[in-house]
Amino acid sequence: MEIVNFTPYPSLIGGILIGLAAITLMLFNGKISGISGITKGIMSKNCPTPHERKWRTFFTVGLVLGGIVITFISPEMTAKNLNINSLQLVIAGLLVGFGTSLGNGCTSGHGVCGLGRRSMRSLYSVITFIASGMLTVYFMFHVFNIGV
pLDDT in tens, 60-76: 999 899 889 988 888 87
Q: Residue 19: CB partners within 8 Å, gap ≥ 6?
A: 112, 116
Q: Give the Cα separation of 133 and 141 in Å (integer).
A: 12
The answer, as to whether pTM is greater than 0.85, is: no
Apex 33 CA angle, 31 and 39, nearest 5: 95
Is residue 15 scored above 80 in pLDDT? Answer: yes
pLDDT band at 20 (very low <50, low <70, confident <90, very high): very high
Q: Which residues contact 5 (CB under 8 A, 6 or more apart)?
A: 76
Structural contact between residues 38 and 117, judged by C-beta atoms closer than 8 angstroms = no
What three-state secondary structure class fits 68? helix
What is residue 147's predicted lDDT score, i.e. its pLDDT? 63
Helix (H) or strand (E) holding 48: none
* pLDDT, position 6: 77
Residues 35-68 have pLDDT tens digits of 888 888 888 887 778 888 898 999 899 989 988 9
Distance, in Å, from the CA atom of 26 to the CA atom of 29, rounded to the nearest integer, reads 5
127 C-beta neighbours (distance < 10 Å), count: 11
What pLDDT, on a 0 to 100 scale, did the predictor assign at position 131?
Answer: 93
